[in-house]
Structure 1
Amino acid sequence: MAPRLETATDQQQHTQIPLPLTPLSRNREIAASASAPRRAGGGARAGAFERGLVALAQYAEREGTVVVARSWSEELPDGTSVRLGVWLSNTRTRRAGLSAEQRGQLAALGVEWAEAEA
Structure 2
Amino acid sequence: MAPEAVPAHGLGRAHACQRERPERLGIQPQTPEQEAPANPRKGASGAFDRGVAALAQYKTRTGSLTVPRAHVEAITIDGQEQAVKLGVWLTNTKTRRAKLTPDQLAALAALGLPWAT
Alignment-mate amino acid for residue 99 of structure 1? T
Structure 1 runs not aligned, ≥5 long: 1-16, 23-30
Number of the residue aligned with 1:105? 107
Alignment-mate amino acid for residue 46 of structure 2? G
Question: What is the CA–CA distance in structure 2 between the aligned matches of 1:112 and 1:72, rounded to whole Å?
Answer: 20
Question: What is the CA–CA distance in structure 2 between the aligned matches of 1:32 and 1:87, rounded to whole Å?
Answer: 33
Residues 11-90 of structure 1 correspond to what in structure 2 (within 5 A)? 20=18, 32=36, 35-36=38-39, 38=40, 43-77=42-76, 78-90=80-92
Q: Given the two structures, how large is their TM-score scaled by the length of structure 1?
A: 0.65
> Would you identify which runs of 4 or more consecutive aligned residues in structure 1 move more than 4 Å?
none
Deviation of 1:20 after TM superposition, in Å, equals: 3.2
**Superposed CA offset, 1:63-83 (max 9, x none):** 001110110000002310000
Structure with more relative contact order (C-alpha pairs < 8 Å, separation 6 or more):
2
- Alignment root-mean-square deviation, CA: 2.2
Higher normalized helix content (fraction of residues): 1
Q: Aligned pair count?
A: 86
Fraction of identical pairs, as percent:
43
Alignment-mate amino acid for residue 42 of structure 2? G
Question: What is the CA–CA distance in structure 2 between the aligned matches of 1:103 and 1:32, rounded to whole Å?
Answer: 37
**Superposed CA offset, 1:6-37 (max 9, x none):** xxxxxxxxxxx968398xxxxxxxx947x13x
Alignment-mate amino acid for residue 95 of structure 1? R
Question: What is the CA–CA distance in structure 2 between the aligned matches of 1:66 and 1:76, rounded to whole Å?
Answer: 16
SS at match of 1:55: helix
Deviation of 1:112 after TM superposition, in Å, equals: 1.4
Number of the residue aligned with 1:4? none
